[in-house]
Amino acid sequence: MKFKEKQYRKMDIHNIITQLNSVNPNNDTLYEVDDIISELYSMEKSERKKAIPAMFGIFERLNDNHYDSVLWSVLHAIEGLTDYENELIQSIERKPNEFNLLMVNRILNSGQTVFKDCNYIILLEKLLLDRNLNQNLNEDLKGYLEKHKGLK
């Protein structure tokens, strides 16, 4: 059953998290994300924050080199909240991908280089040593590090 068919009643945060966790970003269920995010935006910020790990999970389930513009709504929903950096770092530690690394680059663009005890430049440098990353992620990392090399 598609998300739109379930919209006959307002969903609570637990239902939204379940919906986000069921999205496969590599098939057509990804196109349900915009509706889920819209429902999420109708909630208080404190409730929306509970969905941050599920939103990062969408990025983590994404196959290498798969891209869809719908994923930007997830990125913007996360960035629209405060205090998501712990989950961002944990997501990168679990599965670095185009979107969580892009978020680090965007944070670096703002001039912020450190969150708690994590230096974002050092985090990216360590990832560059990971021989399991695909070539596109390695190129992204090199570009981010070159752009921000003076911030360390």
36-93 tens-digit pLDDT: 999 999 999 999 999 999 999 999 999 876 777 889 999 999 999 989 999 999 999 9
Q: Which domain holds residue 25?
A: 3-83
Which tens digits make up the pLDDT trace of 97-145? 999 999 999 999 999 999 999 999 999 999 999 888 889 999 999 999 9
- Residue 30's contacts (CB-CB under 8 Å, 6 or more residues apart) are 23, 24, 58, 68, 70, 71
> Which pTM does this prediction carry?
0.89
Q: Tell me if residue 148 falls in helix, strand or coil.
A: helix
In-domain check, residue 93: no
In-domain check, residue 132: no
In-domain check, residue 131: no
Q: What are phi and psi of 119, to 5 degrees?
A: -90, 120
In the numeric block, which tokens belong to residue 8? 């006959």
In-domain check, residue 13: yes
In-domain check, residue 114: no
In-domain check, residue 49: yes
- Residue 117's contacts (CB-CB under 8 Å, 6 or more residues apart) are none
In the numeric block, which tokens belong to residue 87? 């989950």
Helix (H), strand (E), coil (C) string for 77-104: HHHCCCCCHHHHHHHHHHCCCHHHHHHH
Residue showing tokens 């994300």: 33
The domain tally of the chain equals 1
In-domain check, residue 144: no
In-domain check, residue 94: no
**Host H or E run for residue 119:** strand 118-119
Cβ proximity of 121 and 90 under 8 Å: no
